[in-house]
Amino acid sequence: MSTRLILNVCLGLTIGLTTASAPAAWLDGSLPPAQIDAIIELLLDAGSHGLDPADYGAAELARAWRDPFTRLDPYRLARLDRRLDAAIVEYAAHLTGPRWTGTTGPDDAAAPDRRDDPAALVAEIRERGSGFAAALENLAPSDPNYRRLRAALANLRSIADAGGWPGVGVGPSLHLGEFDPRVPRLRERLGQTPVCGPDSLLFDTDLAAAVVRFQRGHGLAADGVVGSRTVTALDVTAEARVRQVALNLERLRWLPRNLGRRHVIVNVAGGSLAMVADDTVRRTMRAVVGRPDRPTPALSSRITNIELNPAWNIPPKLARQDVLPHLREDPEYLRVQGIRVFANWLAGAPELDPATIDWSAITPADLGFKLRQDPGPLNPLGRVKFHFANPYAVYIHDTPSRGRFAAPARFYSSGCVRIEDPRALARFLVEDSGPAAVERIEAALASDRRGQYALPRAVPVHLVYWTAWVEPDGAIQFRDDVYGHDLLLAAALANPKRVIDPLPVADGAGVDVDEIGRGVVSDAAPMFP
């Protein structure tokens, strides 16, 4: 035997002995083989959560564990134990938080800090000695939104694996009563029973009703006409919808595990607000959210108080971009709009007579005045404003502009959330405190008085960006990625070492409207109504 071969054998034995002598985490004989089987099956099934089993080497772990020679070789067993431990910890980390280096998501979502280190969680569960696979699976969110979307993912995957659905294809718009060679493909795409004979190409009433249901499920104008936008949505492949659902399962894992027994969810991508109590959606309403250049952020906070008949401190950026051009054209603009001018944003700043200011000489960079719009029919905050602490100074509020609520896609605001029924939200926020609290807020809403109403109990609020979700009745919903966050999230997951600027989760402290103007607001903050 050559000297080199002898050295290599000795070195291999030394490494093997060192590895074998390290304490085993899983394969020390204390866990029955059936439990190891269950753990590996869990990793193989990671795709049911929208995760990738390859990230944990699940297939390789399964092959090594099922190889009879592995259990006879202490060195192989030690290596398998080490790899299995790393895979389990990584899986636990992915079930409880973001899948990349950094604390927040690429769509400005303030992902909550992990309350427990994944390795510590795994060690704690391991010490129980039994039922580990079930306990590991329970690290995933348990709320109904996650369960429903996960079930939808399984259904979509089965469709994609079976070849997907047919594309409808481009062509002129299809209307009720028309004949078109694309009708059979449209029927198949929408799960309608095929029609034989001379009417096989007829766009009939049953098919039009199916089109309306599809349009409602995709945020389109529900007119029953198969136009270009509807065809585009129809022709998105099943594989693409699988990826979209997986991205939204990722977002759901960012949320606090306890959303609150009673809470409010604003789905920015869906343009809606839901009031939830005991896992039951009590009511939903339409919302107008930030346009793409002034997006509404994703965050979790608590609604602490309601402001009635609020004045509006116009943010500096909006004053420069939107108000100043009007002032140069119309000296009466401020008076007509009920806007007052103050010398600066400091507390107690003197009010100025706008007629004494040469607005034509004021450049955007020079505009240091504080502009405040009084309550009234022109105030964009309407009659009710809901405060919740956040680093962007966004809020939920009423609006005098009601026409936008009828639009299928409602991305018109400058960052804040306008809702169609603020009275219903106000009642929901206080009704858990008893009839007296409801009567008090109803009386306040019926008056024209200005004032702040502190909630008896702060109510959690979650602003989320869900482009795919499932309604309680089982109807799956898809929306366009208007902000481009799905693209950014997919890129981040493809490059998990990407570092993303951290954004804090709001702590729920109160927000004073006057404090917003004193050094808290920056031009980059999407804080406008």
Q: Each residue of 342-355: pLDDT tens digit?
A: 988 888 889 888 88
- What does the alpha-carbon distance between residue 58 and residue 78 come to, in Å, rounded to a whole number? 17
- What does the alpha-carbon distance between residue 464 and residue 108 come to, in Å, rounded to a whole number? 10
pLDDT band at 23 (very low <50, low <70, confident <90, very high): low
What confidence tens digit (pLDDT) does each residue in 140-156 have?
Answer: 999 999 999 999 999 99
pLDDT, residue 110, reads 45
Of 481, 421, 438, 144, whose CA–CA distance to 285 is shortest? 421
Beta-ladder partners of 454 = 305
DSSP β-ladder status, 396-397 and 417-419: parallel
- Is residue 426 exposed (0-12), middle (13-18) or buried (19+ Cβ within 10 Å)? buried
Of 298, 267, 258, whose CA–CA distance to 391 is shortest? 298
HSE of 407 in the Cβ direction (CA atoms, 13 Å)? Answer: 14
Q: Is 55 helix (H, G, I), strand (E, B) or coil?
A: helix
What confidence tens digit (pLDDT) does each residue in 100-137 have?
Answer: 754 444 454 444 444 568 888 888 888 876 788 999 99
CATH topology of domain 169-236: Muramoyl-pentapeptide Carboxypeptidase; domain 1 (1.10.101)
**Least confident piece of the model among 18-27, 128-137, 255-264:** 18-27
The CATH number of the domain covering residues in 254-311+377-529: 2.40.440.10
- Is residue 181 exposed (0-12), middle (13-18) or buried (19+ Cβ within 10 Å)? exposed
- The pTM of this model reads 0.84
- Give the C-alpha distances (Å, rounded to integers) separating 334 from 26, 327, 342: 72, 7, 12
What confidence tens digit (pLDDT) does each residue in 275-324 have?
Answer: 999 999 999 999 999 999 999 999 999 999 999 988 888 888 888 888 88
pLDDT of 396 > 90? The answer is yes
pLDDT of 509 > 50? The answer is no
Q: Is 300 helix (H, G, I), strand (E, B) or coil?
A: strand
C-beta of residue 302 within 8 angstroms of C-beta of residue 423: no
- Give the C-alpha distances (Å, rounded to integers) separating 231 from 40, 157, 167, 236, 485: 42, 22, 8, 9, 23
* Domain boundaries, given as residue ranges, for the chain: 18-96+113-140, 169-236, 254-311+377-529, 312-374
pLDDT band at 496 (very low <50, low <70, confident <90, very high): low
- What does the alpha-carbon distance between residue 382 and residue 376 come to, in Å, rounded to a whole number? 7
Cβ-Cβ contacts under 8 Å for 111 (sequence gap 6 or more) = 97, 98, 103, 104, 105, 254, 505
Amino acid type, 218: H
Per DSSP, the residues of 242-279 read HHHHHHHHHHHHHS-S---SEEEEEETTTTEEEEEETT
* Count of C-beta atoms within a 10 Å radius of residue 289: 30
Q: Is 502 helix (H, G, I), strand (E, B) or coil?
A: coil
